[in-house]
Amino acid sequence: MKEEVSVRTKADDIVDELRRELEEVKVKLKEKEALFNSITESTLAGYWIWQIKENAMFISPHLKAMLGYKDEELENSVDTINKLMHPSDLPDTYSLLGKHIESNGKIPFEIEVRYKHKEGSIVWVICSGNIVKRDEQGNPSVMIGCHLDNTDLKKAEGVKKYAEELERKNVEMEQFAYVASHDLQEPLHTIQGFIGLLSTLLRDHPDKEVPQYLNFINQASLRMSSLIKGLLEYSRIGKEALMSKVDCNVILKEVEADLDRWIKESNAKIEVGELPSVMGYDMELRIVFQNLISNALKFRSKEPPLIKVSAVKDEGYWKFSVADNGIGVDPQFSEKIFKLYQRLHRKEEYEGNGLGLAQCHKIVTELHSGRIWVEPNNARGSIFNFSIPL
């Protein structure tokens, strides 16, 4: 009995020992698995195991989730990969895989491929793998690989590229406007020169229509010149300008002085409230005030113009307002008026090249990251507002 007991005890001991070891191994395995999972999860990676000879494949649930599928929705097979990978990327992938195996792992297997997401979008994946097991002859028998989701990076790259492209196009456009308007000016000046010469020669032509036609040609060329000049000025806005602290009170005084004759001729009254100093572009802000006040003088009603310029501090910005009692702006055009060459009136009614408010818009939004808009004035006329960040 004693012996039996002791034998049983020995066997028990061995079993217990083995059990303990097994437990330990299990725990270690669990830890390793957990580590592996946490690594793959946290690196947005999914993995696959490929039994090369049997051509059987295990696809990890995370890899499937990356493509929008639940684990049970996709079969664990090479076919699944073949179906979901972008067809154009399959040949290169298999070709590289073949090289990896033929070279016995010397040529690394890593390739960027596209997969089709369940929702139809494209998932960019960096797919890499390694031979992990060989058969008795030393031929590769198992490969393990992982999939790294690269879509966000790809998207970010795309956005960056797009932003750069846009920036380049913008510079190009400005350059184009500048060159075009400069070069268009040249022949126009020559035409104007000869119109002048012809007008002198034909001033007393017996056919009265001759000087009249010449006058029309002259007017059209002057108008074209003014349009081109406007475009030139528009494309020059903000070039080589530096930001500085700008006292808007000073600007307003200068603008009023510049427009003095016009203000007196139209019997206008301009009331200017206390204005702040802002960080901005001096010349350009002057153009904004000058254009807005000129417009208020130009688009006046039958009454003498009454123009109120004011500023209030709001959250994060100064809001400037130029209010008038003029003819107002039809609300349906309140966006359109800020676009290039947009005019609401025939040139016989109101002079202008259709660039003033476009200039204001460019100066406020592009140079000062502000906003410009128009709203109706209570009784009559309109209020042009613009904001400049503090």
Binder among 189, 205, 313, 347 for another protein (CB under 8 A): 189
**Shortest spacing between CB 353 and another protein, in angstroms:** 16
Spatial contact of 382 and 375, defined as CB atoms under 8 Å apart: yes
Q: Give the SS3 label for residue 110.
A: strand
Q: Does 196 bind another protein (CB under 8 A)?
A: yes
**Shortest spacing between CB 194 and another protein, in angstroms:** 6
Strands 109-116 and 140-149: unpaired
Closest CA to 248 of 356, 355, 322, 357: 322
Binder among 42, 88, 137, 190 for another protein (CB under 8 A): 190
Q: Give the SS3 label for residue 63.
A: helix
Strand partners, 247: 277
Choose the stretch contacting another protein; rule: CB under 8 A; options: 180-188, 209-217, 244-252, 288-296: 180-188
Q: Does 182 bind another protein (CB under 8 A)?
A: yes
Binder among 118, 236, 343, 371 for another protein (CB under 8 A): 236
Q: Does 194 bind another protein (CB under 8 A)?
A: yes
Structure-token pair, residue 243: 């930001």
Q: Does 108 bind another protein (CB under 8 A)?
A: no
Binder among 93, 181, 295, 377 for another protein (CB under 8 A): 181
Q: What is the DSSP letter of 300?
A: -
Q: Does 219 bind another protein (CB under 8 A)?
A: no
Q: C-alpha angle 244/245/247, rounded to 5°?
A: 130
Spatial contact of 374 and 291, defined as CB atoms under 8 Å apart: no
How many whole angstroms separate alpha carbon 275 and alpha carbon 108? 68
Structure-token pair, residue 356: 């003033």
Residues in the chain: 390
**Shortest spacing between CB 319 and another protein, in angstroms:** 31
Choose the stretch contacting another protein; rule: CB under 8 A; options: 125-133, 185-193, 299-307, 314-322: 185-193
Binder among 197, 222, 243, 312 for another protein (CB under 8 A): 197
Q: Judged by CB, which is closer to another protein: 194, or 213?
A: 194
Contacting positions for another protein (CB under 8 A): 181-182, 185-186, 189-190, 192-194, 196-197, 232, 236, 240
